[in-house]
Amino acid sequence: MNIRTILLTGAGLLLLALGAIGVFLPVLPTTPFVLAGVGCLSGTPKLRAKVLQISFFREYFENYQNRKGLSTKIVIKSLVYLWGMLIISMVLSGKIWVICLLPVIGICVTWHILYIAKPGKKEKK
C-alpha cells in the first residue's frame, strides 16, 4: 500500500466512526460522514466490502447509491439541524462576511438534501 491509500483508509475509518457517533449525538450529521468514509475506502476494496457488510453503513450507502431517497423525518431533522447551526454560527461570529456566506452555503446544502431526499427515477430496461 502506498502512503495515499494509507491516509485515505485512515480518513475513511475516522469518518465512519464520526458517522456512527452521529447516531447518538445529533450534533454530528451521520449521512455525509458515512458516505465520505465509504468513498475514502475505495482504494482498499476488501476493507470497503467488510464495512459494507455492516447493515448500518450499508443502508446509508445503498440508499444514496440507489437513489432510494430519504424519509421525511430525516429530511426535517437534517434541515432543522443545518439551519439551527448556521444561525447560531452567524449570531456568535458577528462578522458580516460570515453572515453573508453562511446562508448561501445553507441554501446549497438544503437544495442537495432535498435533491437526494426524493427517490431517483427507475431506469427503463
Residue ranges per structural domain of the chain: 3-65, 72-117
Cα end-to-end span (Å), the chain: 40
Query: What average pLDDT does this structure show over 92-108?
Result: 90
pLDDT tops 90 at residue 81: no
pLDDT tops 50 at residue 57: yes
Amino acid at 103: P
Q: What pTM value is reported for the model?
A: 0.58
The reported pLDDT for the residue numbered 125 is 46
Q: How far is CA 119 from CA 98, 107, 115, in A?
A: 34, 20, 9
